[in-house]
Structure 1
Amino acid sequence: MIVFEEALPPVMDMEAAKHWYKDWFNSPYYHLLYNNRDEREAASFIDKLLEYLRPAPGALMLDVACGRGRHSKYLADKGYGVTGIDLSEESIAAARKLENDHLSFYQHDMRLPFMVNYFDVVFNFFTSFGYFETQRENDNALRTIKNALKPGGRVVLDYLNSVYVAKHLVPSEVKEKDGVVFDIHREMQGRKFLKEINILDKRQLLRLSFTESVNAFRKADFEAMFARQGLVINDIFGDYHFNPYDEQHATRLIIVATKQ
């Protein structure tokens, strides 16, 4: 069984629940829960991407939803000019400690325009898309990515494979890290994956609850979204080893597209 470990609101009123990511991504508990992600696998994936894309030396790159900037730094250390953007003020504050002549970070909402016709490559790693409540918002995020690219520039969007995840979803589990208990429940409601995270912090005698919500977009949904933005899909891969995408068996949906 797969454990649904994507970076997927406190339980509160409906309006606040629509913007769950603002509070959750700024929470120290978010970083504690997800601090065991395989950085070696991520580095290997990025190396394979660079071998595939063959960007020119010093190419300009944008990391959309960059988090604390570890993958942006990995790219910048290879000599590329890298900019990272993220909605989380806490994440960007941490990422700015990594800045250098090749690397800069900005707190920014991906639904809003950011630097037009500027970048050679835009990356959106590890299901850092599809959080928003409406299709218009998700289209706006993809439009930001498209507009940030130079003509002929390429985007790599790395998403979960919704069909596979739905079939292998683990309904519940409990994790404990550093005195914090995470009681996690997962389900699919309509076209969304919901992940309720009930937190007990034993050190502070504190209870909190967040619910991640991610759209269960499929290949056809992305094909339609990319077409609306004039992005031409070049390849779709099914995992971080670049095996072909197969809806029933692929763990990922990794799309490479070009701006015309």
Structure 2
Amino acid sequence: MKNKDWYEHWFGSLYYKILYQDRDELEAQEFIETLLNYLQPLPGSPMLDIACGEGRFAIELAGQGFDVTGIDISHMSIEKAKAHENDQLHFYVHDMRFPFYINYFDYAFNFFTSFGYFIRDRDHVMAAKSFAASLRKNGILVIDYLNREQVLDNMVPEITVNRGSYTFHISKKLERDHITKTINFTDADNKPHCYTESVAAFSLSDFIQIFKKAGLSLTGTFGDYKLGAYDPLSSPRMIMVFKK
């Protein structure tokens, strides 16, 4: 598997869902409610969920009465998301590095560390510019990302996770400015599998510089899903609000 396309292989796999089956759906719903209370979008506002996966955040946003479009590079994820489509919820297979619906959305969201996947910095800048291009003037972009210092300070090099008949052996390290996770396990037929997750260890200043190149300015930073104050050393998340 080539490192540059790890996300295409891993996010669309059955094993990804098995490993991360215990993600907190209630926390996701509460985050959306808190975020909407902060942003105060007008009813029916057009919104873009970038790297939407199977659409859990997009579905929640549409349920709140907004016109939501979700995009993701994984064909399998979008196929599953499409089962939830309706008049105000649509999904498309799309690479975030390329423009989508120019000057169309009032809000764009990138949830759950769904940025920083690329090896080359210019690909991250391309993605930032495509995010900005999708927004109307004064449009808002929200990025929910890991908090670099907190992750590095609390990194456990090796762990084992049991999920039913599967045992996942997971190693983590900082490698070439990316936080890399290697996941090894065997399937029911005793066939070995190895997947990789690799996310750029961006700081807040890195994001400011990247999105400045895209014409966006930072207007707010929060440290958790309740939109508490951001502390670079201890906050579990780094949630950034940019304006076009």
Which interval holds the TM-score relative to the shorter structure? Answer: over 0.9
Q: CA deviation at 1:78?
A: 1.1
What are the Cα deviations for residues 37-85 of structure 1, in whole angstroms up to 9, with x where unaligned?
1111111111111000000000000000000011111110111000000
SS in 2 for 1:18: helix
1:141 maps to a residue whose letter is A
CA distance in 2, matches of 1:188, 1:163: 12
Residue 29 (structure 1) aligns with: 15
> 8 Å contact 2:111–2:145 — kept in the other structure?
yes
Counterpart mapping for 1:64-143 below 5 A: 64-143=50-129
Number of matched pairs: 244
1:233 aligns with 2:212: no
Listed as ranges, the matches of 1:208-247 within 5 Å are 208-247=193-232
Distance in 1 (CA, whole Å) between partners of 2:217 and 2:155 is: 31
In 2, Cα distance between equivalents of 1:190 and 1:162: 14
1:17 aligned to 2:33? Answer: no
Which residue matches 1:3? none
SS of 2:123's equivalent? Answer: helix
Distance 1:140 1:232 in 2: 16
* Structure 1 moving runs of 4+ over 4 Å: none
The residue aligned with 2:40 is: 54
Q: In structure 1, what is the Cα distance between the partners aligned to 2:63 and 2:33?
A: 12
Report the more deviating stretch, 173-182 or 108-117. Answer: 173-182
Residue in structure 2 matched with residue 5 of structure 1 by the alignment? none
C-alpha separation between the residues in 1 aligned to 2:95 and 2:4? 15
Shift of 1:204: 2.3
Structure 1 segment 163-242 matched on structure 2, within 5 A: 163-201=149-187, 203-242=188-227
- In 2, the alpha carbon distance for the partners of 1:180 and 1:142 equals 37
Query: 1:18, 1:226 → 2: CA distance?
Result: 22
Q: CA separation in 1, counterparts of 2:180 and 2:64?
A: 37
CA distance in 2, matches of 1:85, 1:50: 20
The two structures, once aligned, show a CA RMSD in angstroms of 0.9
CA apart distance, 1:227: 1.1
Deviates more, 1:171-180 or 1:189-198: 171-180
Using the TM superposition, give the Cα deviation of residue 177 of structure 1 relative to its aligned residue in structure 2, in angstroms: 1.4
Q: TM-score, normalised by structure 1?
A: 0.92
User: Separation in 1 of the partners of 2:74 and 2:20?
Assistant: 15
The alpha carbon displacement at 1:248 in A equals: 0.8
**Which sits farther off after the overlay, 25-34 or 60-69?**
25-34
Q: TM-score, normalised by structure 2?
A: 0.98
- Structure 2, gaps ≥5 residues long: none
Q: Give me the whole-angstrom Cα distance separating, in 1, the residues matched to 2:189 and 2:64.
A: 42
AA in 1 matched with 2:164: D
List runs of 5+ in structure 1 lacking aligned partners. Answer: 1-11
